[in-house]
Chain A
Amino acid sequence: MAFDNLSDRLQMSLRRVTGRGRLTEKDIEEMMREVRLSLLEADVNFKVVKSFTKNVKEQAMGEKILKGLNPGQQVVKIVSDELQRIMGDKAEPLTINAIGITKMMMVGLQGAGKTTTAGKLALHLRKQNNLKPLLVALDVYRPAAIEQLKTIGSQIGVDVFEMGTKEKPLNIMKQAMEFAVSNGNNLVIVDTAGRLQIDEDMMNELVEIKNYLKPEEVLLTVDSMTGQDAVNVAEGFNNTLGVTGAILTKLDGDTRGGAALSLKEVTNISIKLMGMGEKLDQLEVFHPERMASRILGMGDVMTLVDKVTDNIDEDDMMGMVEKMMSGKFNYNDYVKQLKMIKRMGSLGGIMKLIPGMGKMMKGVDVDDKKTVYAEAMISSMTKKERKNPKLISQSSTRRRRVAAGSGRTVTEVNRLIQQIDQMTATFKRMQGMDPEQMANMNPMTMMNQSQPKKKSGTKKKRWRY
């Protein structure tokens, strides 16, 4: 996920500072060097990096910090505040007309993801704002671009207006608006062809369309993998067209996405939405404050909370927690839990959102397939076995049967048993702990701590077959 490596780097440089009583000027210099390097490696624009480190340094050098009680923490806060300041203080909503048709234009370089994002946006606004969208295909240049938009439209059940590749985009646009009125659409999303911001003829085409359409939003689609040039592209489009917001795409990759930092600072364009995957519902509102805390590896608690509340029945959740705490956690509960997590999205994505997990997840491979296998293995257990995990862990015959029944190996069955044991053990430890202590705990160390106990001696005895 985005920013992993940046948060690693910042944490490395900040760890040296945290835990020490006072900061020397040399500490700060050293730290700023690391911050500068990591931001550059994250593709943050060079000029932004310069002003960023300068500001942070000035603030950190202030007397307040040096004489403060916990200077390390305060520097972390300065860095975090500064990141947040650059990206904008809060998410800026899209402008939507209460009466009449809201018009949005998607613009950007070739391959940034305009067509896919246009579809995502239609779905998003239909869901969130109960609008009736119309997608308009103005990309008459790229082969099959219209086909692509039509396919996306039919996937999400949204009408697509197109007139093939022979008509001029401005004419298509005019016809499309007439159609929208007669078709009762109150949202028109225009997919334009990708173009270079320095291509005057192509940019003029956009200006003409914009002048005719007078859209509420001109949305610049920016690939989050873009390097230093992101700022030039944004300035180019903004100067000729007047961009109202940006959508950052492909953030589900492992890019550090420094463009997110640069855009607002240099061009004053707010990022409004972000694309988080190839599926058409994977478009999320961009939350700068969450992004800043994610950059620092502090976890994206707010997003997690949103996801949980959206997808989980509270009673179910509390029942589960009670069960875990009491140590009576069985395979039926495990399946229920897996289903809950599935509803929230990919396991890897969820784990990254948990504070402290970001840096520990590095190298840990969270495979969504494994949950499918786990379900298969549990389905191969008898009802009694599911209720009483001991039956399985104590009998190699049962384990072999489950393995054969689910088409997995005995080793995998053993791993599943270990997981259940581990979870039970972890939650037993959590009992009696006060919530504050729990919040400071590192989930991974907790699991690691519970592991050796089980491993020593038991492995040989238990897994003989």
Chain B
Amino acid sequence: MGFFSKLFKTKERRINAQKYKIGMSKTRDSIFGNVKELLETKSLDSDDLFDELEEIFIMADVGVNTTVKFVDQLRKNIKTKKITSSDLLMELIIEEMYTMYVKDDIAVNEINIEDNRINVLLFVGVNGVGKTTTIGKVANELIQQGKKVMLVAGDTFRAGAIEQLRIWSERVNSEFYCNEEGSDPSSVMFDAIKYAKEHDIDVLLCDTAGRLQNKKNLMNELDKINRVINREIEGAPHETLLVVDATTGQNGLSQAKIFNEVTTITGIVLTKLDGTAKGGIVLAIREEMGIPIKYVGLGEKLEDLERFDFEEYLFGMFGDVI
């Protein structure tokens, strides 16, 4: 039994993976369908094959560095593992990707939420990636698990942002905290935590204004938000999630690097993967910085946010190939 078939041997996993498969069908068709075609038409030791493999990964926004590293590794392993057929090569590609992604980390997608404490999850990212929407969806998941959740309107800058989060809180039936538009986001956090302590809240999901990572003053503001949260609750924020739009190109690396300097990023939320974009930049972020992907957005509906599972992600990409 091949590596890939082993991955999907449980029925439950298959059902879950189907969701990825549907969400990512465009991705799979346009890009990784090519892999199959490529492997069938090129001989295994031709330079063309590797050049075109590189092209496929680059077109998926994986980035030059990570792609070259991956393809070099693959080239080496084809020799050492004596790969002779295209089917075996396909499996090797998946296996290599898996090794590259998972590293030694088993529980990569776990969310650090514990009972008997106020858990603070902070959502950060550049403008327009879907932070507020993601919070609504995460809230939905946590409420279904029986948690008492409060949404905190930390984006006091963008017009309509507070209102947008308020509507989400009504949809998912959660608590909601806001100060007025234009107020200091750190003070919103401070007041929200105070409220949470008095009202027995389990999880705070904190929205922040979108900020481009090269805006120093805005990054300082984020630093302050982080400090205030940490001062009020030891060990908080328990998760700082960088929200990344799947259409993002190589700038995603710069986002991860600079946001990580200001607030330690514990995970990535990859949004809008239901489009034609491949979101390959998160593989580069994982490879270069070790930051795992924790959630992935596969559609606009409330339940379309999934815990990221690399095996399922691979199934979404390669499901039809094998």
Residues of A bordering B, CB below 8 Å: 37, 40-43, 46, 109-113, 141-152, 155, 196-198, 223, 225-230, 232-233, 236, 250, 252-256, 258-259, 278, 365, 367, 369
Contact = CB atoms under 8 A, between A and B. Distances in A.
Given A110-B130, A255-B251, A223 B245 contact: yes
Contacts of A146: 160
B167 A143 contact: yes
Contact of A148 (B60, B159, B212, B277): B159
Q: Is the interface of B mostly helix, strand, loop or mixed?
A: loop
B26 to A, nearest CB: 6
B278 interface: yes
Contacts of A150: 160
Nearest to B245: A111
Contacts of B158: 148
Contacts of A111: 127-130, 245, 272
Contacts of B58: 40, 46, 228
Residue in A152, A259, A278 with the greatest tally of chain B CB atoms within 10 Å: A278
A258 B159 contact: no
B126 interface: yes
A91 B70 CA distance: 41
B173 interface: no
B67 to A, nearest CB: 9
B213 interface: yes
A41 B252 CA distance: 11
A232 B168 contact: no
B185 to A, nearest CB: 15
Contacts of A232: 30, 276-277
Contact of B247 (A141, A223, A252): A223
A42 to B, nearest CB: 7
Contacts of B61: 43, 227-229
B214 interface: yes
Interface in B145-175: 157-161, 163-164, 166-168, 171
12 contacts: A43-B250, A46-B58, A111-B128, A111-B130, A142-B164, A196-B274, A198-B276, A225-B252, A227-B252, A252-B215, A258-B249, A278-B157
A229 B275 contact: yes
A223 B210 CA distance: 14
A225 B272 contact: no
B64 A228 contact: no
Contact of B63 (A41, A259, A369): A41
B275 A144 contact: no
A127 to B, nearest CB: 20
Contacts of B254: 254-255
A149 B159 CA distance: 8
B239 to A, nearest CB: 22
